[in-house]
């Protein structure tokens, strides 16, 4: 009764592990042939990790020792492949979440370093213009000073805008980074004080170990050797003991108690058949006995002979 659900769960666990291994190994190869070979290797390793212990259960001790070593290798390789799948799927899920995040649009602008470099150059030119004394051409010098001052003010305003744009871009980047990581692992990593990438790796290995251990246990239960269960044996024994109840004759003092063995099945049928014939229910013929008991003709003839011999 337990083996059918265990077999169904074992097949489901192995199928899930095989799918994960196929998806992870498909990312490892470049050419199609390489990907196919990686997929085949992953399927073999998953099958070995799930079935080696159950198949080596009745093998000799030396074979079981080799099987345990190979099983450990298959478990390590399979867990590594599953961890690869978990990390890749987490990365893809993060990219999907990032693409769905609304961001504040920022117009194209120059870098702050370029703006500040231009401002420094203009400020230097303005300082040179201010240091000159007006002997001849004073209107031209005043125009230059005014233009340099206006350009310096424009560069200051551009620098302010660039700083504001950078704040918006930093906010967008922080928002994208916050949704890229899994929310549970990110918070656990903060609580544990470890890097988020390291915690993702540990979580992937833990999931892989749980899946592989569950599959191994289910296959171990599903492939148990066939045999009667202890409950069935005990029930049969109790039934046999109950069925064999000798008839004890209660006697008075001075007599020896006797134990009468129960009648066999044939004797019981003969007794019942003789009683039915005497009551007129059954005709004392082979066909009548056969119709009454629903047995074969040979058995009906044998029972008729026993009835006739007992009444003679």
* Number of separate domains in the chain: 3
Q: Are residues 210 and 275 in the same domain?
A: no
pLDDT of the chain, 312 residues: tens digit per residue: 567 888 888 899 899 999 988 988 888 888 898 889 999 998 999 998 898 888 888 888 888 889 899 999 999 989 888 888 888 888 888 888 888 778 778 888 888 888 889 889 888 888 887 777 776 667 777 787 888 889 888 988 988 988 998 888 888 888 777 777 777 777 777 777 777 777 788 888 888 889 898 988 888 888 887 655 444 444 544 444 444 444 444 444 444 444 444 445 555 778 887 888 888 788 888 888 888 887 888 888 888 888 787 766
Q: Are residues 137 and 16 in the same domain?
A: no
Question: Please, which residues have CB within 8 angstroms of residue 54's CB and are 6 or more apart in sequence?
Answer: 216, 219, 220, 222, 223
The structure tokens listed for 281 are 């229910």
Question: Please, which residues have CB within 8 angstroms of residue 299's CB and are 6 or more apart in sequence?
Answer: 293
**Strand residues in the chain grouped as ranges (E):** 247-249, 258-260
What are phi and psi for residue 247, nearest 5 degrees?
-85, 120
Q: Which domain holds residue 216?
A: 3-103+193-222
| Count of CA atoms in the C-beta half-sphere (13 A) of 216 | 20
**Dihedral-angle region of residue 208 (phi above 0 means left; psi in -120 to 50 means alpha; beta otherwise):** alpha
Q: Are residues 172 and 299 in the same domain?
A: no
Rounded to whole angstroms, how far apart are CA atoms 24 and 252? 88
pLDDT value of position 180:
78
Asked if residue 227 is part of any domain, the answer here is: no
- Indicate the angle between helix axes 196-222 and 3-26, nearest 10 degrees: 140
Q: Are residues 116 and 98 in the same domain?
A: no
Q: Are residues 197 and 175 in the same domain?
A: no
* Contact yes or no for 286/304 (Cβ under 8 A): yes
User: Could you tell me the CA-to-CA distances from 272 to 121, 234, 265 in Å, in that order?
Assistant: 128, 32, 11
Q: Of the residues 222, 241, 276, which one is the last residue of a structural domain? A: 222
The residue count of the chain comes to 312
Each residue of 142-199: pLDDT tens digit? 787 888 889 888 988 988 988 998 888 888 888 777 777 777 777 777 777 777 777 7
Asked if residue 167 is part of any domain, the answer here is: yes
Q: Are residues 203 and 258 in the same domain?
A: no
User: Could you tell me the CA-to-CA distances from 256 to 244, 248, 261, 263, 269 in Å, in that order?
Assistant: 22, 11, 16, 21, 30
Q: Are residues 199 and 258 in the same domain?
A: no
Q: Are residues 166 and 287 in the same domain?
A: no
What are phi and psi for residue 5, nearest 5 degrees?
-60, -35
Asked if residue 214 is part of any domain, the answer here is: yes
Asked if residue 43 is part of any domain, the answer here is: yes
pLDDT value of position 143:
81
Asked if residue 186 is part of any domain, the answer here is: no
Q: Are residues 236 and 217 in the same domain?
A: no
Q: Are residues 10 and 80 in the same domain?
A: yes
Rounded to whole angstroms, how far apart are CA atoms 304 and 247? 27
Asked if residue 185 is part of any domain, the answer here is: no
pLDDT value of position 174:
80
Q: Are residues 99 and 207 in the same domain?
A: yes
Asked if residue 7 is part of any domain, the answer here is: yes
Q: Are residues 21 and 88 in the same domain?
A: yes
pLDDT value of position 46:
92
Asked if residue 293 is part of any domain, the answer here is: yes
């Amino acid at each position: 009764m337990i083996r059918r659900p265990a077999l169904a769960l074992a097949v489901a666990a192995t199928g899930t592990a095989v799918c994960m291994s196929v998806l992870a190994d498909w990312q490892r190869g470049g050419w199609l042939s390489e990907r196919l070979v990686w997929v085949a290797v992953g399927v073999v390793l998953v099958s070995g990790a799930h079935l080696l212990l159950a198949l080596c259960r009745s093998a000799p001790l030396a074979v079981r020792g080799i099987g345990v070593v190979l099983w450990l290798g298959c478990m390590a390789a399979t867990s590594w492949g599953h961890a690869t799948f978990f990390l890749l799927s987490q990365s893809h899920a993060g990219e999907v979440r990032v693409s769905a995040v609304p961001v504040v649009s920022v117009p194209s602008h120059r870098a702050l370093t370029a703006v500040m470099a231009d401002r420094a150059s203009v400020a230097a030119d303005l300082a040179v213009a201010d240091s000159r004394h007006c002997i001849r051409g004073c209107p031209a010098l005043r125009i230059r000073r005014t233009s340099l001052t206006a350009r310096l003010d424009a560069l200051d305003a551009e620098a302010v805008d660039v700083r504001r744009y950078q704040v918006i871009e930093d906010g967008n980047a922080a928002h994208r980074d916050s949704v890229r990581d899994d929310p549970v692992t990110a918070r656990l990593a903060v609580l544990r004080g470890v890097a988020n990438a390291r915690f993702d790796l540990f979580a992937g290995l833990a999931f892989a170990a749980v899946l592989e251990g569950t599959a191994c246990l289910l296959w171990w239960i599903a492939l148990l050797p066939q045999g009667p269960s202890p409950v069935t044996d005990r029930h049969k024994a109790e039934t046999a003991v109950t069925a064999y109840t000798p008839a004890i004759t209660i006697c008075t003092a001075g007599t020896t108690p006797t134990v009468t063995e129960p009648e066999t099945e044939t004797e019981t049928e003969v007794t019942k058949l003789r009683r039915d014939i005497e009551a007129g229910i059954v005709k004392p013929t082979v066909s009548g006995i056969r119709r009454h008991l629903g047995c074969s003709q040979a058995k009906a003839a044998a029972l008729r002979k026993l009835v006739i011999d007992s009444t003679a």
